[in-house]
Amino acid sequence: MPQPSRRRFLAITAAAALVPRGARAAPLTRWQGHALGARATLALAHPDAGAIAARAFAEIDRLEDVFSLYRPYSALARLNAAGRLAAPPFELLECLALAGAVHDATGGAFDPSVQPLWATHAEAHAAGAPPGPEALAAARARMGWNHVAFSPAEISFARPGMALTLNGIAQGFIADRVARLLAAEGLTEVLIDTGEIIAPGGGGWPVRIAGGPEITLRAQALATSAPGGTSFDAAGRAGHILDPRTGLSAAAGWRQISVTAPSAALADALSTGFCLMERAAMDAALARFPGTRLAHLA
């Protein structure tokens, strides 16, 4: 699973669902800002576009205070630092519940407890060499999804030194929440791109998968993962998606995997886990989640 990338680009395009007969549609208005550690663009067609954009950015900022590894006082950062978090935010619990379902469906390929392993690879490669067997074993001893317990009262780790990364699901989760916010404002024909793409309305948005086909999203989300898209080393041989079962980068089986699902969070998590799986295992996992589909495999 990957570490959060600060190069994500977030874009939102939305139009009001209904325009009264004889009325002129609101013009498309754009805002630039920052969200999810990246440049963000919102393009909204709505008479109250400015206020809605402000609320959307505020919601993204609020959710970053839950999921970010870069904000030292985020809920996730505090959990990782202390090994427990009392009265966790509902959004964190909801995301962990979905992560657990995908972990189970993928046979452990999707595992948010991989963060100590990611840090070990990053530190070793920064020093000029991949981590050795002892370092990998030490990192894996601080992992294990079955050692994460969560309830409305508390999230806790059973092993010292554990840490979670939710980058393989949180960007999609935030996209889903923004889509919900915009729908409440009457903006149901929406396209949101946080690295994962969601089009919650039924009108249809044509989206081309890089190096793959064009598909039309109707009340769907699309996520794409590429094991070699980011690497720890300059040569590009040590991919950023790590196998929690071996401690190593994903084997060179797939270059790119795209999944559609009813939510961006689910598509995000499945496409990440699939980088470490054979095709038959992917199909079995998809069967566990109605409305999911493998959109592209290369």
**Residue 21 covered by a domain:** no
**Residue 194 covered by a domain:** yes
pLDDT for 12: 66
pLDDT at 21 over 50: no
pLDDT at 10 over 70: no
pLDDT at 35 over 80: no
Q: What H or E segment, with its residue span, contains residue 190?
A: strand 189-193
Say how many residues make up the chain.
298
With a CB cutoff of 8 Å and minimum separation 6, the contacts of 119 are: 139, 163
User: Which of 12-16, 54-58, 91-95 reaches the highest mean pLDDT?
Assistant: 91-95
pLDDT at 146 over 90: yes
Phi and psi at 176, nearest 5°, equal -60, -40
Name the nearest CA neighbour of 66 among 85, 53, 52, 82: 85
**Residue 208 covered by a domain:** yes
Residues 91 and 23: their CA atoms lie apart, in Å, by 39
pLDDT for 71: 93
pLDDT for 8: 43
Q: How many domains does the chain have?
A: 1
Average pLDDT over residues 47-70: 90
Segment 154-211, tens digit of pLDDT: 999 999 999 999 988 998 999 899 889 988 888 877 788 877 888 887 778 888 888 8
Residues 81 and 115: their CA atoms lie apart, in Å, by 12
pLDDT at 131 over 80: yes
Give the residue numbers spanning the domain of 266: 10-15+26-297
Residues 265 and 101: their CA atoms lie apart, in Å, by 12
Residues 145 and 154: their CA atoms lie apart, in Å, by 16
Average pLDDT over residues 8-19: 58
In the DSSP assignment, the letter for residue 144 is: -
Query: Can you read off the two tokens belonging to residue 146?
Result: 């079955």
Residues 146 and 108: their CA atoms lie apart, in Å, by 10
Q: What is the rounded average pLDDT for all residues in the chain?
A: 86
Average pLDDT over residues 114-118: 95
pLDDT for 253: 81
Longest dimension (CA), the chain: 71
**Residue 154 covered by a domain:** yes
Residues 100 and 251: their CA atoms lie apart, in Å, by 23
Place of tokens 């680009």: 9
Average pLDDT over residues 57-72: 93
Which CATH number does the domain housing residue 74 bear? 3.10.520.10
pLDDT at 4 over 50: no
**Residue 207 covered by a domain:** yes
pLDDT at 18 over 60: no
User: Which of 102-111, 220-229, 241-250 reaches the highest mean pLDDT?
Assistant: 102-111
Query: What percentage of the chain exceeds 90 in pLDDT?
Result: 52
**Residue 35 covered by a domain:** yes
**Residue 3 covered by a domain:** no
**Residue 118 covered by a domain:** yes
Lowest-confidence segment of 103-112, 194-203, 272-281 by average pLDDT: 194-203
